[in-house]
Structure 1
Amino acid sequence: MSFGQGGASWGPGGGGTPDWAALAEQSAARARRRKLLMIGGGALATVAVGAIVTAAVVTSNGGGTGKADGSASRLPSPAELPAESAVPAPSFSSVAPPPPPDPKEYISSAEKDRAPVTVDGFFPGKRLTMGDRVHLKGASSSSATCSTGTQGALGAVLTDNGCTQLLRATYRKGGVAMTVGVAVFATEARAKKAVDQASGGLASLSGGGVGTFCRGGTVCLRTSNSYGRYAYFTIGGFTSGKRVTTADKDVYAVNKDLTNFTFRQIHQRGRLQASQAAADPG
């Protein structure tokens, strides 16, 4: 016989005593059912949240790549991705440019040294300024007979080595006058040989405000040198006729200015022709 709610069971023996073991079993069964419902509900909630997160991720990564029917677009595989743009890389020649021409090469032989040779080209203007020192230009001359502008044995030395032209110009500063001469040869070797064999000296050139100097046995300063196919000489001293000694620094200073200037003029001649050759290699 059964009485009461919840299907409580009263055991045998009468007297209305409940069957406590049966009640405990029923209570445990109800508790298990509630737990299963709670677990099931949690799982459903987890599935729902996961679905929402997945949809959000797909939406954010897809960013407008979905199809018109609402289905998600398939991401391309690496093989389907476009190749890198074929932008050409800068290229550099492995061949080094040729070195610039050597100016000395263009003044070492008549074959390459083709610019006109003139006295005004070597000794331009009416004065020569070197730093704060000004040398006034006197007379100048050019001769195809090199011996006419020399003294002693120098004329024969120049002629024997094939001198084709002798250019001279005189400068004065204070009481000092000096003539510088440039002898032109076909090759550098001939110019060097002429300097090595030099004897006697250049003849001083008067005129243009400069009187006769360094003549008649007066002791004067004489120098000789060469660069390329040009040999250059100087002779200088006092316009008063006073003899030059090693203590006369003014004479040596004028000589230094004139020889430096002449060297630069010869070098500049080579530099200009080398530059022209580089600009027009054909």
Structure 2
Amino acid sequence: MSFGGPQWPQEPQQQGQQGQQGYGQQYGGQPGYGQQQQPAYGQQQPSGYGQQQPNPFPGAQGGGPTPDWGALADASASRGRRKRWLMIGGGVLATLAVGAIVATAVVTTNKTDDEAKNGGVPTVTVSPTGSPTPEPTFSSVAPPPPPNPKDYISDPKKDTAPISAEGLFPGKKLTMDGRLYKKGATATTTNCAAAVQGGLGTVLKKHGCQKVLRATYVKDGVAITVGVAVFPSEAAATKAKAQATGGIAPLAGAGVREFCHGTICLRRANSVGRYAYFTQAGFANGKKVTKADKPVFQASDDLGTFAFNQIYARGRTQASAAANAPGE
């Protein structure tokens, strides 16, 4: 039986002798050894199915068909090649599978690192009914603005913090832009007229002055008394400033002798909120003040600014406390 491979050559049939095999002269039914006739080129007689093949080996005995050794060898080689290709293909597939697993692991690891770095992937909470939890809502009404400190130093109903000369003028000295002033005596009185000079007492009383707080400071032979008068309203304080005449009475003591008596001194008046503040500055030795005496004007400016800052800080402190109070 042919396996599809090359076969041993067969003798072509002689003309007029169908069915005889042309191996040369027959001897005892066996072909002559060494006298085998080669078939014509390109004329190989096909082997019929089931037809017995001649024995290609002269003198060999055997009653059965001879195996096609070349076909068997080719078939075995073909099976070996197919096995090798299957092994190679399986290795490639295994490599691709491992690569896919590694890539998936890298992607998963990177995703995990990103989530750890960025706080995780946002999730949507789902209620037991299966519907997403609604997003939080915010009021469209703008929050009220923070309290204005000036409101607290203008309205006696809000301006309720305790006030005293030591609280308004604390410490033993103050510094304004590098200029150092030593503090002398302080005083507080509800008799507003007793703390002023000239016609200022009448003005303070007319507009409802409630108390006057004073403190004296000295620097390089210049003495300054600053006084703050408290009124029931901002309007009253503004009118008292506008109508002011005379000035705050100089306050001696605590190492400061009398000054601004029988001589010319610098007097000023101003107001903020329900407070009017006044200064009187002059030389501690009684020398009169002229326009050329810049140290006196500078001292008056510094103490007037300090008084304003202290009053405004009072309003800021009360406004901050109100903003942080529960329920506000």
Aligned to 2:85: 46
Q: Which residue of 2 aligns with 1:71?
A: none
Instruction: Output the CA distance in 2 between the equivalents of 1:40 and 1:264.
Output: 106
1:245 lines up with 2:290 in the alignment: yes
Superposed CA deviations along residues 228-254 of structure 1, whole A, max 9, x for unmatched, are: 221100011112322211110111122
**Cα offset, 1:169, TM superposition:** 1.7
State the shift of 1:213 in Å.
Answer: 2.3
* Cα distance in structure 2, aligned partners of 1:125 and 1:223: 24
Query: How far apart, CA to CA, are the structure 2 residues paired with 1:137 and 1:128?
Result: 8
State the distance in 1 between where 2:286 and 2:91 align: 119
More helix by share: 1
- After TM superposition, the structure 1 = structure 2 runs for residues 226-245 of structure 1, keeping only pairs within 5 Å, are 226-245=271-290
1:48 deviates by 4.8
Structure 2 residue aligned with 1:198: 244
Letter in 2 for 1:19: A
Aligned to 2:159: 113
Are the counterparts in 2 of residues 10 and 19 from structure 1 also a CA contact under 8 Å?
A: no
Per-residue deviation, 1:183: 0.6
Deviations 1:26-73 (CA, angstroms, capped at 9, x unpaired)? 9xxx9xx7998566764554345434544666688789xxxxxxxxxx
Q: Deviations over 1:203-249 (max 9, x none)?
A: 22233333332233x22111111222211000111123222111101
CA distance in 1, matches of 2:38, 2:181: 150
Q: Secondary structure at the match of 1:157?
A: helix
Q: Provide Cα deviations, 1:125-169, integer angstroms capped at 9, x if missing partner.
A: 343344543333333222212122222232222222221111112
SS in 1 for 2:43: helix
- Say whether 1:222 aligns with 2:254: no
- Paired residue total: 251
Residue correspondence of structure 1 range 36-115 to structure 2 within 5 A? 37=75, 42-43=81-82, 45-51=84-90, 53-54=92-93, 86=123, 100-115=146-161
The code of the aligned residue for 2:205 comes to: T
When residues 92 and 258 of structure 1 are mapped into structure 2, their CA distance, relative to the original with a 3 A threshold, is farther
Q: 1:7 aligns with which of 10, 13, 28?
A: 10
Identity %: 47
Paired AA for residue 235 in structure 1: Q
Question: Distance in 2 between the 1:48 and 1:134 partners?
Answer: 99
Aligned counterparts of 2:272 and 2:81: Cα–Cα separation in 1: 106
2:228 is the counterpart of 1:182? yes
Contact 2:210/2:230 (<8 A) preserved: yes
| Residue of structure 2 in register with 1:263 after alignment | 308
Which residue of 1 is the match for residue 320 of structure 2?
275
Counterpart code for 1:23 = Q
Match of residue 214, structure 2, among 131, 150, 168: 168
SS at match of 2:303: helix
Structure 1 distance, partners of 2:45, 2:291, is: 141
Aligned to 1:19: 40
The one-letter code of the counterpart of 1:253 is Q
Residue 142 of structure 1 aligns to which amino acid in structure 2? T
- The structure with the larger Rg is 2
246-255 or 99-108, which deviates more: 99-108
**Distance in 2, Cα, partners of 1:271 & 1:93:** 34
Q: Is the 8 A contact 2:11 2:45 kept in 1?
A: no
- Structure 2, unpaired ranges of 5+: 1-7, 17-21, 25-36, 48-67, 103-120, 126-134
Q: CA deviation at 1:274?
A: 2.7
Q: Considering only aligned residues, what root-mean-square deviation do their CA atoms show, in Å? A: 3.8
The separation in 1 between residues aligned to 2:12 and 2:273, in whole angstroms, is: 138
The aligned amino acid for 2:220 is G
**Alignment partner, residue 51 of structure 2:** none
